[in-house]
Structure 1
Amino acid sequence: MKIFKKQKLRAVILCSLVILISISWIKKEDDFVKKSFQTAAPLYTQLLKVTNGNFKYYPHSLLENGSIKYYNIDEWTGGFWPGSLWYMYEYTKDQKWKDAALAWTNSLETNQFNTNHHDIGFMMYCSYGNALRFDQNPKYQEILVQSAKSLTKRYSPIVGSIQSWNERKSKGDINTWEYPVIMDNMMNLELLFYASKVTKDPTYKEIGIKHAEQTMKNHLREDYSSYHVVNYDPKTGKVLHKQTLQGFSDESTWARGQAWGIYGFTTVYRETKDKRFLNTAIKMADFFLDHPNLPADKIPNWDFNVGEAGFKPDWDFNPSKFKETPRDASAAAITSSALLELSTFVKGAKRKKYNNAAVAILKSLSSDAYLNTDKANPYFLLKHSTGNLPSNREIDVPLIYADYYFLEALVRYQRKQTK
């Protein structure tokens, strides 16, 4: 009997130690989440202070003189600032962030009628879509449905895609893009799936699926790297050009474009359960994570093939301008958020691979190398993003969408830990 009691006592002690170690491990794992949100709080408090009441201009990045670079209400990144505030509220439960998020979200109301470009999904779903999770205002649903209607006005059944930009010249004025479709457009499809769910009208979803199919068909190479821009003939639907605007060369892989694809196809699979889209997300993610040029900290250079032989840019690239190849923290943040969701749709080694990669990226981004712990600027959370290097714009700067997807990924990670 004494031996049995001793064995039972040892078992209880062992179980207790395992539980304590597990709790300690989880706490250590969550430290980077806490650190990131604590770093964001004073920065965003300051950003709210300087933008207070100025609801026509949305913080986007920094200018060379250190002042805030704003975009107008009708430009593509307006929804990321209120969206970031919603994630601040979700994590902290502090009413201050909710009040600010509501104010900035409501400021975007007129954008529901914006048909000038494809980015209305970014603008309205990242703001109003997040708002609906905390405030079931029926007006928000109406605004999102109207936003989806506006987006569908850019759809052509001949092309089978939503036109991203209006007619424009390609980089270097080599070609005219009459009907350009960019990989980024995959991110706007979630708005269409939402509209079909709440209206019971399948039209929105059908357009989203068709666009995803055409992107899968024409934007991807055999190795599942991606083209940035595909230009179609609007009269016939024929592919005329496969090029880039923000990447190193037409045949290279722009890092953020690859990230948009991973995220976008993961979302389309969630909404359709069509294995074709899951397979595409998996293959694009594997290209990103397994690429030999991906740095050890998993924060990619702005293009996977920058400076490589065999990739010819149609712009004046001068590598001597940079001490080292610029990274793109925004591409990493988008990818980490996508991988956290993608990991829930696969099993075994793939699930472990994607989850571990997402966490590794988040830990890198929350390190002092990328997180603005040193107050390198007074307003934004992440450093070292690249917006459009070929146009000499936004090189090694903070970007509001990098912050948004980083915070989204941190919240997604936190949710997974509490399930």
Structure 2
Amino acid sequence: MKVYFYWLTCVFMVVVLPGCQDQKKSDPIIAESFEAAAPLYDSLLQITGNNLADYPHSLNPDGSLKFLQIDEWTGGFWPGILWYMYEYTKDSKWKEEARKWTESLESNQYNTAHHDIGFMMYCSYGNALRFEDNAQYRDILIQSARSLCERYSGTVKSIQSWNKRKSKGDVNVWEYPVIMDNMMNLELLFYAAKVTKDSSFRHIAINHALQTMKNHVRADYSSYHVVNYDPNTGTVLNRQTLQGFSDQSTWARGQAWGIYGFTMTYRETGDLRFLKTAEGMADFFLDHARLPSDKIPYWDFDAGQEGYTPDWDFDPERFTEIPRDASAAAITASALLELSTLTTDEHRVMKYKQGATAILETLASDTYLNTQGDNPYFLLKHSTGNLPSNNEIDVPLIYADYYYLEALLRYRKQLNKEKT
């Protein structure tokens, strides 16, 4: 009788309550966020149709959809989002679209024009391989890693982010610029090392992380955005913060990239130096006096503060209210959830879990979550792309959505005590 009753109960849960997500523990913000996302991403799929050459990125000032092309850095986030939708819903329609958009990026495996191939290919093909045992996908990621390694210099011991170009404010020339964002591309190299057993990928990733730790991270664990090296000697020529308020200030998304990147690098290496750096950068973020009470950072922690002087055309009257950056918050939440599983400091375990949860709860509120139809396409509102260039200020951004969904899925796994 007990067995019969249990069987009836299971049938009831599956048939009557399909939204229970396999009876896993959950938090209302997870279900509400994915439910809010579905019609928005349906709209994106409808407007893109069979055009797989334009990747949704943000909104233009007139409210129209802003696309970027295959050679731009954000192309992998849209297919990655579709894989996350499939992971949560198990609805095959998301898988079909995710596969289609992922495969549209195939030619990028040979892209050596900049460092962003990790973003482009691992967020798409890397996620795809979690659901599809596809040898071609593995080969594409391996070739992508080889392409990324072509930008590595044994002299500088870093992967060059951008080609030689004029610097911020045209003060000098960036001979060999390396940016904090580049830490995010190392996961592709660690993957390639494991699959091929070729240690050179791992060697390059570790060297790059060590140099970033040494030259981008300040003594207080804040960070510079750009470090410019002499390609002939590896000497640091100068340090700047291109997308921040001032060269000495802390750009919020750059800090988020650092927390995430060093956390991932510690996961892949077990090197305590990377754990210490990830913890220091996370503590700087969470403990900062200017982090708002809702945990969503201003686009720069030091914007407009005494002692920080911008070398771009800053108009204080225009920004009477300093813009926030939901994308930095989403990236940080995802990173903190993983970091909470890696740190051995019990105080930090709780601190990072609570910090991530607080961020997610705010992002799930009507202030940041697009539940009122503020735009037809994107889930999160109020991100900042590049304020000094007057580009993408207080807009939705595709990568904010990507890392928010990733954070929610990591949160759900932790609630269910699954490996994240």
TM range (shorter): over 0.9
Residue from 230, 235, 244 that aligns with 1:233? 230
SS of equivalent residue, structure 2 residue 94: helix
Match of 1:353? 351
For residues 109-130 of structure 1, the C-alpha deviation after alignment (integer angstroms, 9 at most, x for no partner) is: 0000000000000000000000
| Aligned-partner Cα distance in 1 for 2:320–2:61 | 18
Match of 1:8? none
* Superposition misfits of 4+ residues, deviation over 6 angstroms: 26-29
Seq. identity, %: 70
Residue type matched to 1:376 in 2?
D
Match of 2:309? 312
Residue from 177, 187, 190 that aligns with 1:190? 187
| Aligned-partner Cα distance in 2 for 1:183–1:351 | 25
Match of 1:382? 380
| Aligned-partner Cα distance in 1 for 2:354–2:306 | 32
| Aligned-partner Cα distance in 1 for 2:380–2:50 | 24
- Gaps in structure 1 of 5+ consecutive residues: 1-22
TM-score by length of 2: 0.93
Of 361-370 and 166-175, the range deviating more from structure 2:
166-175
| Aligned-partner Cα distance in 2 for 1:286–1:265 | 13
2:360 pairs with 1:333: no
| Aligned-partner Cα distance in 2 for 1:29–1:369 | 22
2:243 pairs with 1:251: no
SS of equivalent residue, structure 1 residue 227: coil
SS of equivalent residue, structure 2 residue 385: strand
2:119 pairs with 1:122: yes
CA contact (8 A) 2:26 2:415 kept: no
2:155 pairs with 1:158: yes
CA contact (8 A) 2:25 2:412 kept: no
SS of equivalent residue, structure 2 residue 223: coil
| Aligned-partner Cα distance in 1 for 2:303–2:157 | 32
Residue type matched to 1:294 in 2?
L
Residue type matched to 1:32 in 2?
I
Of 338-347 and 319-328, the range deviating more from structure 2:
319-328
SS of equivalent residue, structure 1 residue 387: strand
Match of 1:409? 407
Of 319-328 and 180-189, the range deviating more from structure 2:
319-328
For residues 162-212 of structure 1, the C-alpha deviation after alignment (integer angstroms, 9 at most, x for no partner) is: 000001111211110010000000000000000000000000000000000
CA contact (8 A) 2:25 2:415 kept: no
For residues 259-298 of structure 1, the C-alpha deviation after alignment (integer angstroms, 9 at most, x for no partner) is: 0000000000000000000000000000000000000000
- Gaps in structure 2 of 5+ consecutive residues: 1-19
For residues 355-403 of structure 1, the C-alpha deviation after alignment (integer angstroms, 9 at most, x for no partner) is: 1100110000010000001111100000000000000000000000000
Match of 1:10? none
Residue type matched to 1:86 in 2?
W
| Aligned-partner Cα distance in 2 for 1:302–1:98 | 34
| Aligned-partner Cα distance in 1 for 2:26–2:406 | 17
Match of 1:292? 289
Please report how far the alpha carbon of residue 323 of structure 1 lies from its aligned counterpart in structure 2 after TM superposition. Answer: 4.3
Match of 1:399? 397
Match of 1:269? 266
SS of equivalent residue, structure 2 residue 27: helix
Residue from 40, 44, 59 that aligns with 1:43? 40
Aligned residues: 395
Of 269-278 and 346-355, the range deviating more from structure 2:
346-355
Please report how far the alpha carbon of residue 28 of structure 1 lies from its aligned counterpart in structure 2 after TM superposition. Answer: 9.6
Please report how far the alpha carbon of residue 316 of structure 1 lies from its aligned counterpart in structure 2 after TM superposition. Answer: 1.2
| Aligned-partner Cα distance in 2 for 1:29–1:302 | 31
Residue type matched to 2:402 in 1?
Y
| Aligned-partner Cα distance in 2 for 1:408–1:27 | 17
| Aligned-partner Cα distance in 2 for 1:188–1:407 | 19
Bigger Rg over Cα: 1
Of 342-351 and 121-130, the range deviating more from structure 2:
342-351
Residue type matched to 1:229 in 2?
V
For residues 225-263 of structure 1, the C-alpha deviation after alignment (integer angstroms, 9 at most, x for no partner) is: 000000000011000010011000100000000000000
CA contact (8 A) 2:57 2:67 kept: yes
SS of equivalent residue, structure 1 residue 386: strand
| Aligned-partner Cα distance in 2 for 1:70–1:245 | 23
Please report how far the alpha carbon of residue 313 of structure 1 lies from its aligned counterpart in structure 2 after TM superposition. Answer: 0.6
2:63 pairs with 1:101: no
